[in-house]
Structures are given as C-alpha cells and as structure tokens.
Structure 1
Amino acid sequence: MIQNPSLRAKRSVTKQIHREPVSNAEIHENVVDQVYQQSVPNLINSLIRRSLLEKTDGLFFLQQIVMEYVTERFIL
C-alpha cells in the first residue's frame, strides 16, 4: 500500500486535535516536530490574521467550520 507522504507528514506534526480552547503552552506541548516548535508563535499569528483561529481569555480555538473541516480531513 502506498501512503501519501504529505498525509504522513501532517500526522507527525501534532499529537491530537483539541476540540476545546487551549493555551499557548498546550499548543507547544502537542507539536511533535522540533522544527515546528520554533514556528508556533508565527503560525498562531498567521491563523489569527486569517480568522481561522480565535483567542479569548488567553485560550485559542478554531472556528466551528474549521474544526469540522480539520476533523474530517485528518481524523476520518
């Protein structure tokens, strides 16, 4: 069976998809690849600018429609 390399790479980036708001520290804990660890602040800001990630009371969460897409794309 041939596995899509980009899918394999996506799975190695994070441990899980959080459905509840998470702190910046929790995001850092769940980034597996050390290369991405250093990029987390820039990636968070990029997602916020694109309105894909929201921040309330110091916690981050995905828009509901984005969460549905991510769940379908990466989990199912």
Structure 2
Amino acid sequence: MHGREVDAWWPEAGLAVELDGWQDHGTRVVFQRDREKGNWLALRGVTLLRFTHHDVTVRAEATAAQLAEAIAHRVAA
C-alpha cells in the first residue's frame, strides 16, 4: 500500500498493521527501515499499529480489541 509493504492494511480506515518479531526485526538496519516506513506512512495520514508475537498469541483478545477500536475510530473520522 502506498508503495510500502505492510503485514495488514485496512484502506477504508487508513490503518496499517506490522507484526514485529526479533527474528526479522532485531537488527539496526531493519529497525531503522521500520522507523522510516512508519514515518513515511504517518506523513500520508496512515495510522500504523505494531504488534508482537506475544500480542497476537498471549494477548490476542486485547490486541483484537485495540484493532477493532482503531478501525472504528478511523472509519468514523
């Protein structure tokens, strides 16, 4: 979306999600690239939420609630 790859994208809400894990995001280069992507998206009005493996597996209900809240808030705006 917008020429950038994200893990999930809700265009009607202008909401993107990235799933961050140490295996793929544990280097300075990847960390820097992720910050640049987040800033690029923010400048285009996209809200970027980041979740970890722990968020998705252990805190699944809370994570789903955050996601639902973000979608509802962004669609209503």
Q: TM-score, normalised by structure 1?
A: 0.28
Considering fraction of residues, name the structure with more strand: 2
